[in-house]
Amino acid sequence: MEIVRTPDECFSGIDDYPFEPHYTTIKTHDGSDLRIHHIDEGPRDGAVVVCIHGQPVWSYLYRKMIPYLTAAGLRVICPDLVGYGKSDKPAARDDYSYERQVEWMGAWLEQNDFSGLTLFGQDWGGLIGLRLVAAHSERFDRVAISNTGLPYNPDVPQALVDEVETYRATAPTPNLISMTREMRGLSWEGKAANPARLFAVWQKFCWETEHLPIGLMLSLMTEPQSNLTKITKALLYRLGMRSPIPSPTAKAYDAPFPEPKYTMGPRAMPSQVPSLPTSPSLEQQRLAWEFFEQFEKPFVCAFTDDDPVTKGGDATFIKRVPGAYGQPHTTIRGGGHFVQETRPKEISQVIIDLVNRTAA
């Protein structure tokens, strides 16, 4: 396996990420060394919260939450998924299967011997984190999730599967503007005729865009700015500027990905979401749901009310996971997809309350 590593100097000048790096080296399926980065903040004897990010971000996403959590006496561990942040990056898109991400992070978890954990997962941090809970249940005491899921869709009609697969194979690559426009219509609550087809726009955009404009996308999604500024940035991007008028936040999210060769993780992972019965990991997802339907440890949802990708997804967990029964689930208003950026205090308080309420 060919592996690349973002040079350390790419992370210089990120003033709001003052955290000491920690590194763990694991072995891949072919015997390669793979280095995984994490940050570890707060009191050594505090209850441990593992915060896992999603795509296309990195542990920088948790910089606003860490002060709230550590001030409450919690020890906060935030890894960079393989392919993201300061972690190593396999160079081929085909290296990034769902199962390998679970395997890699499971090896990281075991090698560090973390236990007594509270999981917080959002986006892919939930998809991977929940599978870690299922595979290493003895290490986790409680779970909190936001804007994520555990996709398992074995019964999608063949006509809808064909529609998605035809789109993936034959449609032109969407650009940033057309992708954004189509994704606004996404809904998994029955409002879209074929939500997997709309989600495929995001999958195709990521898979076929050689150098994803990650900083630009995160800036547009999470930073207050006028419509004129947003339109200007989008137009400059269409004219060939990958990161027009970048804010410090945009620069930080771009830092791990200075060249296309570093971006294979963010490009590949959306296509690994098991949204269809033909998707990889279908059987593993079935087994994971079988586990969570018997999971009685505390389980709390704190989804936002305006994320089209996951809105309403908390209802499935609340209905099916015994540990979610009777918990004070929260709907966070206007937080968008990346609640860690837009509502760090509110989502941190959900975690703090969960630990305080359920600690032995």
Rounded-to-integer distance, Cα 290 and Cα 78, Å: 27
337 carries an active-site annotation: yes
Give the pLDDT of residue 188: 64
Report phi then psi at 89, rounded to 5: -130, 100
Same-domain pairing of 76 and 225:
no
Nearest to 208 by CA among 297, 146, 268, 249: 268
Choose between 185 and 160: higher pLDDT: 160
Q: Say whether both 77 and 209 belong to one domain.
A: no
DSSP, collapsed to helix, strand or coil, labels residue 203 as: helix
Q: Pick the last residue of a domain from 272, 299, 331.
A: 272
What residues contact residue 45 under an 8 Å CB cut-off, 6+ apart?
75
Q: Are residues 257 and 303 in the same domain?
A: no
Average pLDDT over residues 44-61: 98
* Mean pLDDT score, 308-335: 95
Residues 147 and 285 in one domain: yes
Answer yes or no: 141 catalytic.
no
CB 271 within 8 A of CB 203: yes
Pure H helices in the chain? 66-71, 98-112, 124-135, 158-170, 176-183, 195-208, 214-222, 227-238, 248-254, 264-268, 282-292, 314-320, 339-342, 344-358
Whether residue 167 sits in one domain with residue 146? no
In terms of Cα–Cα distance, which of 199, 193, 239, 198 is closest to 216?
239
Q: How do residues 235-253 score in pLDDT, each as one tens digit?
A: 899 889 999 999 999 999 9
Same domain, 238 and 93: no
- Identify residue 272 by its one-letter amino acid code: Q
Instruction: Give the confidence band of 127 by pLDDT, cuts at 50, 70, 90.
Output: very high
Residues 17-37 have a mean pLDDT of 97
Q: Beta 33-41 vs 3-4: how paired, if at all?
A: unpaired
CA distance 349 to 133: 22
Options 80, 141, 307, 314, the catalytic residue: 307
* Token reading at 221: 């999604």
- The count of domains in the chain is 2
Q: State yes or no: pLDDT of 282 exceeds 90.
A: yes
When pLDDT is averaged across residues 265-288 and rounded to a whole number, the result is 95
Range of the structural domain that residue 183 is part of: 158-272
CB 113 within 8 A of CB 23: no
CATH number of the domain where residue 115 is located: 3.40.50.1820
| Whether pLDDT at 190 is above 90 | no
**φ, ψ (nearest 5 deg) of residue 50:** -100, 115
Active-site entry in 37, 38, 53, 337: 337
Catalytic residue among 95, 123, 141, 314: 123
* 108 in the same domain as 221: no
Active site residue 30: no
